[in-house]
Chain A
Amino acid sequence: MASQSKLHLFLSSWSTRLALAMIVIVVLMAFLAPWLASQDPMFLDPSVRLKKPSAAHILGTDAYGRDLYSRIIYGSRVSLMVGTGVLAISVFFGVILGALAGYFRALDSVIMRIMDGIMAIPAVLLAIALVSVSGASLTTVIVAIAVPEIPRVTRLVRSIMLSVRSEPYVEAAVTLGTSPLKILLRHMLPNTVAPLIVQGTYIFAAAVLIEAILSFLGAGIPPEVPSWGNIIADGRSYFQLLPGLVLYPGIVLSLTILTINMLGDAARDALDPKLAARN
């Protein structure tokens, strides 16, 4: 009953529905890429390099004669994989570490000081270091972006744990002889779900953006793989000749991040009990 009204609240505004539709389009792009794309995104054809949009190449071609439209479609795969991968890793480790730090007093200061240390590492520097050690790959990029996000999730989960552990219903569970693990899973962790959904959308959006930055700088995905950052990096020298090489992937990237953030805001409003009470 309560969750239904929350969903209703979430979907009540037009901007949210629009954002949701945009996300669905990006996801469909990624899954249906082989059918949507007009040709192999890596296929080189020097005879048609730097062509303006035409019937054969809807958005034109790049400096190597690759089809820009197909590359943008396939680029959504990289973005979604990076976003999902970073989200999964940071939430997985963040929740475990945050729960341990928030529940067991003895572990708190140890875990949190390590987190403070990790937080001091910039994602871009870590990525450059990792790429120079292990070579450019999707996994490297995901790890490089995920590691600095872990402390954020850890802090969020820990703070919720600390505020919930003195709730009478948690203390009641202690006196009823419930084991610490069950108390954590049953009574405490469910409180983190709503804030994690909100935080998760921001992490996802940030990951997509940082991947684009890393690829643009040449420290990310291998250059032949179509990712929005790579496409922009390839096209930047020809910007004056063919602005579409930068503009089209740029617009798709911006719209994707904007809509994810809008969903995050809408989720926050829908899940915030104070805002819910007002409606």
Chain B
Amino acid sequence: MTHPGNERPETVLSVRDLCVETVSRSDPRPILKSVSFDVYAAETLCIVGESGSGKSVTAFSVMGLLPPDALRRSGGRILLNGRDLSTARPGEILALRATTMSMVFQEPMTALNPVRRIGEQLDEVIRIHRSLPAAQRREMVMKMLTEVDLPDPPRIYRSYPHELSGGQRQRIVIAMALILEPKLLIADEPTTALDVTTQKQILHLMKELQRVHGTSVIFITHDFGVVAEIADRILVMRHGVTIENGTRDQILAAPADPYTRELVASVPGIHPPAPLPPKHDRVLSLRNVSKTYGTRPLFGRPRLVHALSDVNLDVHRDEIVGIVGESGSGKSTLARCVIGLVEGWTGEIRLGDHLLEDASRNRSYDIKQRLQIVFQDPYRSLNPRRRIGASLMEGLTNFGMAESQARRKVAEVLEIVGLDSSVMQRYPHQFSGGQRQRLCLARAIVMEPEILIADEAVSALDVTVQGQVLDLLADIKRRTGVAILFITHDLRVAAQISDTIIVMQHGRIVEKGTPQQVIRSPREDYTRELIQSAPGAHWDFRNFRPFVAEPGAEPAVS
């Protein structure tokens, strides 16, 4: 019960000494070690941590959604509105879900049933928990659809999930979670799968709904930028332990724990480093490169998608070109045209003086060697069945190098990426994501390429590891003079590492310049929107303080 006039905020959720371990008779491993925190009425608590920190397990424990054959609560109490969930029967917890606490998941594509209409799915939530006539339920659904700012609610009501965009779907999931006005909303990385501009809208929406309904929110994220936007209080977790717990300003401005300091300081700020690079010889040039994907149906007009239109670009020796864009902007297609994994493009790509052939298989070994790529997913980039040594030497032996010599060269390069040469005997599954990405980098640079393409190469990594790999890339550039095409959806990361930034939208280059020019004085509206959408743009993470003045970008939502 709320007591008007009471100064202390009401505690909605209180977690005390929560312990979770793996289900195993012989060797149960602890996953959460005595986690305690409170969530007060109408506030947002951000739980921050890297992968494996236990932040999602904490959320699942509260919701009673721990997978019974894998994890179990081994101690502690969870009090929701003063009621102990740890002693509640499964049926009681079921009744509390959606009515008192509800959850929004990361992947809006899989959180909705693909074969049922949006309206039916929202209606079902009400039907299960309340006995209301159909007309009244429909009214509630329409009202909720309006509240989450979806255009034309009657049309959305009739739509299937595949007819909506990712951002719209996430709005539906939020609507579904809030339709019964729960006291507590748990959002597990709800914006991670979305583009930054969409992310900004969703964060804004959640803030607004929270203000109107007075909902308490637990927001789980790995992104300190997002935290800086929306948190009232922050809980930092690592290896299943609470590292630090405090208000937003305490944690962001004066983190007490060294791990928190490292975590906050690794967040890429949107503000670019100053030095302008000297221009060297041009190594790669693109002239009017276009790529069209099309389906030619038996009847009717062919449907064409312009993945790239008239792209012109020069890349110089010793230069890092950051290519930034949202999903569908054509940034990956550009990379794949250059490397030859996409064929059927038009225009000219020159590597030095050599006019590049269309597909990789038509190119000579010499040309292939000069272009190398590192992919996004470190878990799928190395053949799981082959030893690291075999994978890393593959390129060299393809070019006819003797195995002993190749082995020596790989060992040298492994040292550059910070790994011991003994790793050559091991298999990929024995390495972490960050180590695997170093191995992929080693595989590429052992070829001594002139152009290295990094296609979202740090996007799948935790922020501290991401920082290390970025430093490594810069180091490799310094040592070898390789030109790097750094493709990313994250303008903050691009600003940190690039000498030149290119912004792409709908297959076109819309802006080009040094990070200074692009971020301080963007010419295009779209670039400005991207900059403003970057979460946490108002906060200088490196120096633990807010930016004083914001040239070119307005302070974001607060």
Contacts and interface: CB of A to CB of B under 8 A. Distances in A.
**Real binding pair:** yes
Interface string A204-215: 000000000000
Contacts, number: 58
A178 interface: yes
A239 interface: no
B398 A172 contact: no
A169 B380 contact: yes
A175 B377 contact: no
Nearest to B359: A174
Contacts of A182: 398
A175 B342 CA distance: 12
B435 to A, nearest CB: 16
- Among B372, B376, B383, B443, max chain A CB count under 10 A is at B383
B373 interface: yes
Interface in B484-524: none
Given A169-B380, A169-B383, A187-B383, A176 B447 contact: yes
A176 B395 contact: yes
Interface residues of B, number: 30
B392 to A, nearest CB: 10
Contact of B443 (A176, A179, A186, A190): A176
A178 B383 contact: no
Interface in A137-173: 167-169, 171-173
Nearest to A179: B398
Interface stretch (B88-96, B233-241, B287-295, B361-369): B361-369
Nearest to A193: B385
B280 to A, nearest CB: 24
A270 B495 CA distance: 48
Nearest to A172: B381
B65 interface: no
B360 interface: yes
A278 B24 CA distance: 11
Given A167-B380, A168-B380, A186-B386, A174 B341 contact: yes
B148 interface: no
Given A169-B382, A190-B385, A278-B69, A174 B377 contact: no
Interface string B313-344: 00000000000000000000000000111000
A177 B381 contact: no
A180 B375 CA distance: 20
A177 B380 contact: no
B431 interface: no
Contacts of A2: 429
B399 interface: yes
Contact of A177 (B376, B385, B386, B398): B398
B531 interface: no
Contacts of A172: 373, 375, 381, 440, 443
A171 B341 contact: yes
A200 B398 CA distance: 34
A180 B362 CA distance: 12
Contacts of B398: 176-179, 182
Nearest to B383: A169
Interface in B335-356: 339-341
Nearest to B393: A176
B371 interface: yes
Nearest to A167: B380
Nearest to A176: B395
Contacts of A174: 340-341, 360-361
Nearest to B375: A168
A177 to B, nearest CB: 4
Nearest to A188: B383
Contacts of B381: 168-169, 172
B394 interface: yes
B360 A175 contact: yes
A204 B471 CA distance: 56
A55 B395 CA distance: 71
Nearest to B368: A177
A248 to B, nearest CB: 45
27 contacts: A168-B376, A168-B377, A169-B380, A169-B391, A171-B341, A171-B373, A171-B375, A172-B373, A172-B375, A172-B440, A173-B383, A173-B394, A175-B340, A175-B341, A175-B368, A175-B372, A176-B368, A176-B395, A176-B398, A177-B369, A177-B395, A177-B399, A178-B395, A178-B398, A179-B398, A180-B361, A182-B398
Given A175-B339, A177-B365, A177-B399, 12 more contacts: A167-B380, A168-B377, A168-B381, A171-B375, A172-B373, A176-B395, A176-B447, A177-B395, A178-B395, A180-B361, A182-B398, A190-B385
Interface of B: 69, 339-341, 360-361, 365, 368-369, 371-373, 375-377, 380-383, 385-386, 391, 394-395, 398-399, 429, 440, 443, 447
